[in-house]
Structure 1
Amino acid sequence: MAEHVSRHPFRAERLAVRGQQLQILHWGDPAEATDAVPLTVMVHGWMDVAASYQFLVDALRAQPGWGARPLLALDWRGFGGSYLASGPAPDGDYAYVDYLADLDAVLDRVSPGRAVNLIGHSMGGNVVMLYAGARPGRIRRLVNLEGVGLPVAAPEEAPRRLAAWLDGLKAPVALKDYDSVAAVAARLRQNNPRLTPERAQWLAGHWAHEAGGRWHINADPAHKRPGPHLYRLEEVLATWRAITAPTLVVEGADTAVYQFFNGRHTRDDFLQRVAVLQNATHRVLPDAGHMLHHDQPEQLAAWLADFLG
């Protein structure tokens, strides 16, 4: 199968951060960022990797004025190159507070004292919204790609959630492995039929690695376990209200993300949450699903170039 050829390959680096070896991908040199041309930082979603942004980066580089701007993507702890370097979480748990603290520490290293443009997809979109409320002075422009949040959790759910988490820690958990990189690519296209075969083949080589004659997903299987933490909407909205950066919220017109919530969280719920933002622009990307940066990278890049300035 033919494979996508990246017009602007990344350079990978690992940073020692909070007991982890976190992988960052560079397109350009972060040290060349200025107040006028800030660093743009991208973070990925659940069960994804930083290399997932390559197609969007190639499209951004084609935008006027974006041929050499410094770009960076982070592999969250437990995912991608960060997982390959650091292994599983010692306690078997991953919490949003750890992602926030990791992001804060990484930004201190790659953009000390200077605000950044911050882009997050899906789980990463939820994280960057919380981070921008907690650290408003660190963000110049904020982009939320399909970070729709989670269903409201009632306090009464806490005992059941904690029990499920405790039970999960005792149960073995594993991710499916594959006999070839082509099989990994087929899985990616099963998840998202809009992903072209060429892009799926390229991404599969970054989404998984070969060991012992099998291809294994670059993610800690512990991500499949239920977490102990409730989603407290009041706290989330209070943090969103503290965001001062101009914010672009982008949805895929054909997203299926709400199907996973079985009616407990709807698009109307999400739009009501977006309404609390001080300075937000909301756009819907045609002919795109949840993985909108894979489905329509050129159109999304045009919108980002215009919004980020």
Structure 2
Amino acid sequence: MYQPQRTSRSEFVPIRQLRYHVRLWGEPGPGKVPLVLVHGWMDVAASWQFMVDAFSRDHYVIAPDWRGYGDTEAPGTDNYWFPDYLADLDFLLDHYAGEQPVDLVGHSMGGNVAMLYTGSRPQRIRRLVNLEGFGMPAARPTQAPGRYAKWMDELKAFHRGTLELKTYESADGVARRLMKTNRRLSQDKADWLARQWARPQADGRWRILGDAAHKITNAQLFRVDEVLALYARIACPTLWVEASDDSLGQWWEGRFTRAEFHERLQAVPQVRKAVLQDTGHMLHHDQPLALAQHIESFLDAP
């Protein structure tokens, strides 16, 4: 099994009436800019371990489990609203950084949160890194009736208990699932991640550490005009990193493309782009050393 090179510690902090779990690597110190890492959908903070191990020096790393993931409490609701992630991050930065600007890295859903947050609070972020946080296809107002109906149908399925996350007979089963999703994930890393990503329950089966309500469709349409207005307010240097595999092509089958996202990126005032070779969407698992080098080079640039 994979052996972490840098030891993390866990803290629980009160954030907006939730008991938030935060994983920390390193210590704060003079001249150190806090490095905040925010994970994606159906992931956990421990997922950053491989990249943290690959850094060339010790950083003060702050990585929360989002609400309803990992060891952070679920809010006791039956669906999730994207603005809550921005507010949770704002409270977390109050707790860990005060008035000090931080470096912010987000993957996938976390990358989307990081971009929107930085547009909302530009003074709080020194450097911003977005890893495959594409956002969503542009929505049309005519989609609203069907979207609301789908949202209500999925809420009913959740309350009937028919919208659930799959469980597994063992940690090995979870590891096999991770390797099936990501063909580049090695056995040793999958075995380690499985024990961070899931936990055995009273019946002996392993359950993913995520609230099933995360699967419910967002009732709100994705507004590209709002996103572009937020992108335009990002005041710090921004690094966009995408995988060599085209995740959008697999997910949306032409309905939302990389070219369309790159057009949106033009709204960001200071953006640098990079492609990480031999990677899929989980690029922090596939090439943690190359990614760590990209990020550190960007953070250290004048």
User: If the TM-score is normalised by the length of the shorter chain, which range does it land in?
Assistant: over 0.9
**2:166 maps to what in 1?**
176
Q: Deviation of residue 168 (structure 1)?
A: 1.2
Q: How does 1:121-160 map to 2 (within 5 A)?
A: 121-160=107-146
**2:223 maps to what in 1?**
232
Q: How does 1:238-257 map to 2 (within 5 A)?
A: 238-257=229-248
Q: Deviation of residue 255 (structure 1)?
A: 3.4
> What code does the residue aligned with 2:25 have?
W
In terms of mean alpha carbon deviation, does 262-271 or 121-130 score higher? 262-271
Are residues 1:112 and 2:107 paired?
A: no
**1:72 maps to what in 2?**
62
The 1-side partners of 2:64 and 2:249 are apart by: 26
- Secondary structure of the 1:81 match is coil
- Secondary structure of the 2:22 match is strand
The 2-side partners of 1:49 and 1:258 are apart by: 25
The 2-side partners of 1:96 and 1:264 are apart by: 22
**1:17 maps to what in 2?**
15
Note the alpha carbon deviations across 1:105-164, whole angstroms, 9 max, x for none.
Answer: 000000001000000000000000000000000000000000011000111111111111
The 2-side partners of 1:137 and 1:234 are apart by: 22
**1:274 maps to what in 2?**
265
- Give the conservation status (yes or no) of the 8 Å contact 2:22–2:62: yes
- Give the conservation status (yes or no) of the 8 Å contact 1:146–1:290: yes
Structure 1: gaps of 5 or more residues: none
The 2-side partners of 1:255 and 1:58 are apart by: 26
The 2-side partners of 1:14 and 1:261 are apart by: 37
**1:46 maps to what in 2?**
41
TM-score (norm 2): 0.96
**1:56 maps to what in 2?**
51
The 1-side partners of 2:248 and 2:285 are apart by: 15
- Give the conservation status (yes or no) of the 8 Å contact 1:255–1:288: no
- Give the conservation status (yes or no) of the 8 Å contact 2:18–2:75: no
- Secondary structure of the 1:80 match is coil
2:253 pairs, out of 244, 262, 265, with 262
Structure 2: gaps of 5 or more residues: none
In terms of mean alpha carbon deviation, does 232-241 or 16-25 score higher? 16-25
TM-score (norm 1): 0.93
Over 4 Å off, 4+ runs:
none
Q: CA RMSD in A?
A: 1.0
Note the alpha carbon deviations across 1:209-229, whole angstroms, 9 max, x for none.
Answer: 001210000000111111211
- Give the conservation status (yes or no) of the 8 Å contact 2:115–2:130: yes
